[in-house]
Amino acid sequence: MEEGISAVCSCWMEDPTAAPEHWKALFDQFDPDNTGYISTEKFRSLLQRHGSELDPHKLEVLLALADSNSEGRICYQDFVNLMSNKRSNSFRQAILQGNRRLCSKALLEETGLSLSQRLIRHVAYETLPREIDRKWYYDSYTCCPPPWFMITITIVEVAFFLYNGVVLDRFVLQVTHPLYLKNALLYHPQLRAQAWRYLTYIFMHAGIEHLGLNVVLQLLVGVPLEMVHGAARISFVYVAGVVAGSLAVSVADMTAPVVGSSGGVYALVSAHLANIVMNWSGMKCQFKLLRMAVALICMSFEFGRAVWLRFHPSAYPPCPHPSFMAHLGGVMVGITLGVIILRNYEQRLQDQTLWWIFLSIYLIFVLFAIFWNIFAYSLLDLKLPPPP
């Protein structure tokens, strides 16, 4: 049996992606009845004898799993998932529900790390509230793929802004230029049938002051979140915030256009801030109170600027300046769908009841807004600004 676990460890050290069938064959040596389980006592003893062949953080997680298991046995699949850098929901629950204390020193206390390792550790402490999750992320992160989504979307937004700045010969308050609204990307109430505008408006910004704050927030917050939670989840929150923002404008501020990526940015930032507040004692990022205050001040400043601009006399009446409702739409996505995603690091969202509740609410809102755009404008007999 001892040779079996040693062979499993050696196999994993040589090839972390080795087929689970090979591990199963080795596991059968100390699971002769083929039950898929090993006794906790035997499992812990074997880990202590052969733990030097494992990564220390993975060994610590396995020992915590053994300590927290109340049934006296360890599931083979949990061991395979750990070695494959995957975690099942049952594995997460076994760790979190057990009254265990991690015996080794905290990740923050480790010394002799390279610059890249310190960066990964910093990101872990910025975004994850549990030490066991931080160690897991630190061990498994490979920067492949890199946080491409937030970087790409930022580059494209800046490129469009610079292009518009050259064409309009204006970089501050571009929105006041008479040709600004003729762009095919921004959302305009008279052109709401052109569905792409509900998404592409993020590539248009009111001015460099608008773009600058959005870019800073989405890079400082969005890139670390994408490094931890992956491009798929973070892009979903971002795009959901963008779509909710334009739809919120079409429902609540029906005569106004909308520009800027604030819907997506506010979805990410509000989800991150809410996650910090909900896990205040577990979050170990430095100066978290001060940094939260700075983030809220920046968001309030940007929102205040948008409100002021919306009610400022338009440079080209009767069309008003862009709406600020997209900010609020993004916040609502962030504190619902966004929080659920950030609170369930590497877990299956489909196993979370709240995920389905908030996703259903979001989809109902989208359907409501679609029908609203089809019927309400004609029924209310609104006087819309002329098409650009």
Tokens representing 260 are: 């800027």
Report d(CA 49, CA 360) in Å as an integer: 50
Q: Is 178 helix (H, G, I), strand (E, B) or coil?
A: coil
CA-nearest of 103, 110, 107, 109 to 123 is 107
CA-nearest of 129, 60, 48 to 100 is 60
Tokens representing 331 are: 């916040």
Query: Dmax of the chain from CA atoms?
Result: 82
176-181, Cβ contacts within 8 angstroms, sequence gap of 24 or more: 176/315, 177/315, 178/315, 178/316, 180/204, 181/257, 181/316, 181/319, 181/388
- Buried/exposed 334-364: b ≥16 CB within 10 Å, e otherwise: bbbbbbbbbbbbbbeeeebeebeebbeebee
CA-nearest of 62, 104, 99, 103 to 80 is 62
Residue 262 falls in the annotated catalytic set: yes
Which one from 262, 272, 321, 323 is the annotated catalytic residue? 262
Place of tokens 């334009």: 246
Beta-bridge mates of residue 38: 74
Active-site residue numbers? 262, 327
